[in-house]
Amino acid sequence: MMPLHLYDTKSREVLEVKETNGLVKMYCCGPTVYRDAHVGNMRTFLLSDLIRRTLLMFGYRVSIVQNITDVGHMSEDYEGEDKLLAQSKTEHIDPLAVAKKYEERFHSDLRQLNIIPADKYPKASESIGLMQDLITQLIARGNAYVGSDNSVYFDASSFPGYGQLSGNRLDSLKPGHRYEYHDDGAKKFHADWALWKAAGDRTELIWDSPWGPGFPGWHIECSAMSLHFLDGHVNVHVGGIDLRFPHHEDERAQSDSVTGNETVDLWVHGEHLLFQGRKMSKSAGNVVLIQDIAERGFDPLALRLVYLENRYRSQMDLTWETISAANETLLKWRTLVSKFSSATPLQNEEIWQALSVDLDTPKVIQIVRSIVKDPNLSDEMKAGYFLHADQVLGLDLARAEVPRELTAELKRLLDERDFVRENKNWKESDRLRGVLEEAGLIIQDSPTGQEWQWR
Ligand code: AMP
Ligand code: ZN
């Protein structure tokens, strides 16, 4: 077996991935299903897929658990309201119907990106008992206490290693600092956090508990699920860099206090995605979904290629131009490979080396590009290298391209442009040309009308 080394946020070192009883156990923080996941979220989900595919290629067995957060993740924008409840008011549907809708869309996005499904997708709302058991244990061990408001809090000072993961040491955390939404409640110390929140006047998404009706905190969810479904130990824990603190710092304190040892071997964090230079967010108005990529006529797997061209630990900027260029590359590679789709897969030692040292995917893509250009290799051999590498790249390189069809929306826009040209409305005609070109078409006007082709 080839070893895989990954950067561990806690030790700040590149360490070898370990297995437990012949299995690499991975936990990947999943989506909060109150909205569509954007392509930034997808970058993090693709990171766990990349780790898994690399481990499989290197000969390991892997098991992945990814949680679905459908309760307990409080919003910063709605006065600390549960994200699911806030969205249920906006959409005028039941909170669990909101969760179901976005969970289905999340799985559809994963399929479009060729992400191998996790072995288990536990839901927070179906794991309340697990969380309550863990909280009971934490209280019994003196790591948690019931506040005068009937909420249960973790006592941060009871865990000596608090702060080692994120570098936020307890004595430097200031009261009132917004590291946790304002849930001061009855906690004894500003750095403590709620494991169980008393219902107060909330009536939906609440459960009975030994401490009265209420709902779980967000951090306890990941401790409860990882400990239960991965049998008390996690070899690789994956999430976006924003989760390092407080989410993962708190998860580590909770889990380690119960297991009595270091529960997670490696904490792997993916850097954030920017879009056209700015952090992707609703307020910045630059949220891009997988669906938007498909609607512009691009293969969603072009996004996979763009992400592979960047190292997971670097912040990266996405633009429509990079997606378009990757889409072209993908088509060229498929044209080459699909002619020899039954070629014998050929292992490339350099690719394995590049992956082995903290997933140097930009180098892998560089090697792949040099294979394409190599005059000493036959096309069949090139296809063989591609087929082997595609186990990790996940780009569907053996897929024979079928001519792309126009979407109904693009057809409508072309018809509309025909119509406005007949009426000599050149301004509108130019505007529509812009929209069509943005969507990936090339438009040419001739005396007999407009002609189009894919870019
Ligand atoms: P959420 O649904 O907001 O809880 O996020 C799901 C996952 O996406 C978490 O691992 C986040 O750290 C990650 N994430 C959020 N925004 C970005 C971004 N812009 N780029 C990369 N990952 C992100
Ligand atoms: Zn988590």
**What DSSP assignment string belongs to 61-123?**
-EEEEE-BB-S--B-TTTTT-BHHHHHHHHHTS-HHHHHHHHHHHHHHHHHHTTPPPPSB--B
Q: Grade residue 455 by pLDDT with cuts at 50, 70 and 90.
A: low
Measured from the alpha carbon of residue 42, the closest ligand is 1
CA of 216 to the centre of ligand 2 (A): 13
Q: Which residues line ligand 1 (CB under 6 A)?
A: 29, 31-32, 40-41, 43-44, 239-240, 242-243, 270, 272-273, 280
Average pLDDT over the chain, rounded to an integer: 92
Same domain, 191 and 76: yes
Residue 44 alpha carbon, nearest atom of ligand 1: 22
Same domain, 253 and 310: no
Strands 193-198 and 214-216: antiparallel
Same domain, 351 and 443: no
Same domain, 116 and 168: yes
pLDDT value, residue 150: 95
Q: What percentage of the chain carries pLDDT values higher than 90?
A: 75
Q: Give dist(CA 278, CA 286) in Å, integer.
A: 8
Domain membership flag for residue 208: yes
Domain membership flag for residue 401: no
Average pLDDT over residues 238-245: 96
Q: Grade residue 438 by pLDDT with cuts at 50, 70 and 90.
A: confident
Residue 32 alpha carbon, nearest atom of ligand 1: 2
Measured from the alpha carbon of residue 244, the closest ligand is 1
DSSP structural state of residue 449: E
Same domain, 215 and 362: no
Residue 271 alpha carbon, nearest atom of ligand 1: 21
Assigned token pair, 199: 């219902």
pLDDT value, residue 174: 65
| Residue nearest atom 18 of ligand 1, based on CA coordinates | 40
Same domain, 170 and 46: yes
Ordered alpha helix ranges (H), 248-396 = 249-259, 290-295, 301-308, 320-338, 349-356, 361-373, 379-393
Measured from the alpha carbon of residue 44, the closest ligand is 1
Which mutation among 33, 50, 242 tests ligand 1's pocket best, with the greatest number of atoms within 8 A of CB? 242
Residue 241 alpha carbon, nearest atom of ligand 1: 12
Q: Grade residue 181 by pLDDT with cuts at 50, 70 and 90.
A: very low
Same domain, 439 and 343: no
Measured from the alpha carbon of residue 314, the closest ligand is 1
Say whether pLDDT at 132 is over 50.
yes
Same domain, 191 and 259: yes
Measured from the alpha carbon of residue 248, the closest ligand is 2
Let me know if 143 is exposed, middle or buried by CB neighbors in 10 A (0-12, 13-18, 19+).
Answer: buried
* Peptide bond preceding 246 in cis form (omega within 30 of 0): yes
Structural domain for 434, as ranges: 408-454
Let me know if 5 is exposed, middle or buried by CB neighbors in 10 A (0-12, 13-18, 19+).
Answer: middle
Q: Give dist(CA 452, CA 342) in Å, integer.
A: 35
| Residue nearest atom 6 of ligand 1, based on CA coordinates | 31
Same domain, 61 and 205: yes
Say whether pLDDT at 330 is over 60.
yes
Same domain, 373 and 440: no
Domain membership flag for residue 398: no
Q: Give dist(CA 295, CA 439) in Å, integer.
A: 7
pLDDT value, residue 6: 98
Identify whether the C-beta of residue 337 lies closer than 8 Å to the C-beta of residue 386: yes
Domain membership flag for residue 187: yes
Polymer length of the chain: 455
Q: Grade residue 374 by pLDDT with cuts at 50, 70 and 90.
A: very high
Q: What percentage of the chain carries pLDDT values higher than 70?
A: 96
DSSP structural state of residue 25: E
Residue 214 β-bridge partners: 198, 207
Residue 274 alpha carbon, nearest atom of ligand 1: 19
The number of domains in the chain is 3
Residue 280 alpha carbon, nearest atom of ligand 1: 19
pLDDT value, residue 180: 47
What pLDDT digit, counting tens, does each position of 393-428 carry?
A: 999 999 877 667 788 888 999 999 999 999 999 999
| Residue nearest atom 14 of ligand 1, based on CA coordinates | 41
Query: Looking at per-residue confidence, does 184 or 281 come out higher?
Result: 281
| CA angle, 267 then 268 then 271, to 5° | 135
Residue 33 alpha carbon, nearest atom of ligand 1: 2
DSSP structural state of residue 134: H
| CA angle, 7 then 276 then 394, to 5° | 50
CA of 30 to the centre of ligand 2 (A): 7
DSSP structural state of residue 246: I
CA of 66 to the centre of ligand 2 (A): 9
Same domain, 230 and 279: no
Query: Looking at per-residue confidence, does 439 or 252 come out higher?
Result: 252
Picking from 270, 290, 307, the residue at the C-terminal end of a domain is 270
What pLDDT digit, counting tens, does each position of 114-128 carry?
A: 999 999 999 999 999
Cα distances (Å, whole numbers) of residue 62 to 122, 153, 217, 233, 355:
17, 34, 29, 13, 17
CA of 177 to the centre of ligand 2 (A): 21
Say whether pLDDT at 107 is over 90.
yes
Strands 214-216 and 234-240: unpaired
Q: Give dist(CA 35, CA 83) in Å, integer.
A: 9
* Sign of the alpha-carbon torsion through 55, 264, 84, 94: positive
Picking from 341, 363, 393, the residue at the C-terminal end of a domain is 393
What pLDDT digit, counting tens, does each position of 61-84 carry?
A: 999 999 999 987 887 654 578 888
Domain membership flag for residue 402: no
Picking from 212, 239, 270, the residue at the C-terminal end of a domain is 270
CA of 330 to the centre of ligand 1 (A): 26
Same domain, 91 and 113: yes
pLDDT value, residue 74: 81
Average pLDDT over residues 241-251: 96
Say whether pLDDT at 176 is over 70.
no
pLDDT value, residue 79: 55
DSSP structural state of residue 23: B
Q: How many CB atoms lie within 10 A of CB 126?
A: 11
Which mutation among 41, 243, 303 tests ligand 1's pocket best, with the greatest number of atoms within 8 A of CB? 41
Q: Give dist(CA 420, CA 135) in Å, integer.
A: 66
Say whether pLDDT at 359 is over 70.
yes
